[in-house]
Amino acid sequence: MRFLAIAVAAAVLIALPLVTTGYVVYLANLLLTFTVLCLGMHIVIGETGQFSLAHAAFYGIGIYAAGIAGTTFGTPFPVSILIGGLAASAIGFVIGMVALRMRDIYLALATFAFGEAMQWVFLNWNAVTGGPNGLRIAPARLFGLELVTDKDAYPFVVATAIAMLVLTVIVARARLGRSFRAVRESEIAAQAMGVPVRRTKVVAFGISAFFAGIAGGMFTLFSTYIHPDSLGFQTTILVLTMVVVGGLGSIGGAVGGAIAFGLISELLRQAPSFQEIAYGAILIVFMMYAPKGLFAFLADRFRGARHA
């Protein structure tokens, strides 16, 4: 069953740029970027249970770092993307260490405040980020190859997304993943079992920020401009809802949520006057009737139908 799903996904991914316009490929690029963001959030909230609301800040750090590296210093884009990921994860590690003592709601609020403060920095540090004028991002370059259109960037965006997905699965199956989940269930029990709780939490933050930074790097592959308005709490909430709607705690849920919500978002753009109400209503209805996420909900239905 899973094999078929992967085959279908592969077919769609390969066929997409051949049968559709650059606009659809742009949407796909955006969706893949958000998928990586969701995977990052899955690691810190879904696996480790740490309620971090600073995701958009790390995404922004990744975009600016990768963008500046490529535009001002002319680094080839695999290096730029990596710089984005590392810059974000460095800050992520620091935040993780500072946040060690905090729990649940306090952690959520502190990371929320950090995210907003970071957006203010993006908006006011004119020398580096261009401030309210935004930052121009030059087309990504790899030796001779230049990525100018969405279709040019697409294969590399897909490759990066797949790499991050593989990384997520590796981490989940490794001992680190088990440590994450142990900390989520019960810190005291985990400690008793010999899990280095403090270090695990810091690592979770760092890795999650790395993912967000890589997503930022992906963004620079197909975008020419970034403005701090897109890097605030709204974006973090968007990613959070994708993960929750898809299903917290499962990799498939994170990926599925990104796709489902990305499509819903684009559809809602066609109904401007009801957008906000529809968005809010979707959140409420999901929380009321499909709390484990869309895919768990559907899976339950199918399982029920088959057994009936």
Among positions 182-211, residues that touch other proteins (CB under 8 A) are: 186-189
Distance CA 72, CA 93 (A): 26
- Cα–Cα nearest to 247, from 287, 197, 218: 287
Q: Which is nearer to other proteins, 173 or 229 (CB)?
A: 229
Pick from 13, 86, 116, 264 the residue near other proteins by CB under 8 A. Answer: 116
Distance CA 281, CA 304 (A): 26
Does 263 bind other proteins (CB under 8 A)? Our answer is: no
Q: How far is the CB of 294 from other proteins (least distance, A)?
A: 14
Q: How far is the CB of 170 from other proteins (least distance, A)?
A: 26
Q: How far is the CB of 295 from other proteins (least distance, A)?
A: 15
Binding mask 37-66 for other proteins (x = CB under 8 A): --------x-----x---------------
Q: How far is the CB of 44 from other proteins (least distance, A)?
A: 12
What tokens does 185 get? 């269930």
Helix (H, G, I), strand (E, B) or coil at 48: coil
Query: For residues 45 and 63, is the Cβ–Cβ distance under 8 A?
Result: no
Residue whose pair of structure tokens reads 């990768």 in the numeric block: 66
Pick the piece of the chain touching other proteins (CB under 8 A) from 161-169, 194-202, 234-242, 250-258.
Answer: 234-242
Measuring CA to CA, how many Å separate 70 from each of 65, 73, 140?
A: 9, 6, 7
Please name the helix (run of DSSP H) or strand (run of DSSP E) that holds residue 18, with its range, or none.
helix 2-19
Q: Which is nearer to other proteins, 148 or 170 (CB)?
A: 148
- Cα–Cα nearest to 93, from 236, 214, 230, 198: 198
What tokens does 140 get? 């990504």
Binding mask 275-294 for other proteins (x = CB under 8 A): xxxxxxxxxx--xxxxxx--
What tokens does 253 get? 């849920």
Per CB under 8 A, contacts with other proteins among 136-155 are 136, 148, 150
Does 72 bind other proteins (CB under 8 A)? Our answer is: no
Distance CA 205, CA 95 (A): 7
Pick from 124, 159, 169, 302 the residue near other proteins by CB under 8 A. Answer: 124
Pick from 9, 74, 120, 300 the residue near other proteins by CB under 8 A. Answer: 120
Pick from 52, 168, 220, 223 the residue near other proteins by CB under 8 A. Answer: 223
Pick from 274, 300, 302, 303 the residue near other proteins by CB under 8 A. Answer: 274
Pick from 71, 75, 200, 241 the residue near other proteins by CB under 8 A. Answer: 241
Q: Which is nearer to other proteins, 51 or 82 (CB)?
A: 51
Q: How far is the CB of 188 from other proteins (least distance, A)?
A: 6
Q: Which residues pair with 147 in a beta bridge?
A: 140
What tokens does 19 get? 């049968």
Question: What is the amino acid identity at position 285?
Answer: V
Q: How far is the CB of 195 from other proteins (least distance, A)?
A: 14
Distance CA 28, CA 16 (A): 9
What tokens does 39 get? 């995977």
Q: How far is the CB of 178 from other proteins (least distance, A)?
A: 18
Distance CA 14, CA 18 (A): 8
Q: Which is nearer to other proteins, 125 or 302 (CB)?
A: 125
E strands within the chain? Answer: 135-136, 140-142, 145-147, 225-226
Pick from 76, 78, 134, 177 the residue near other proteins by CB under 8 A. Answer: 134
Does 125 bind other proteins (CB under 8 A)? Our answer is: no
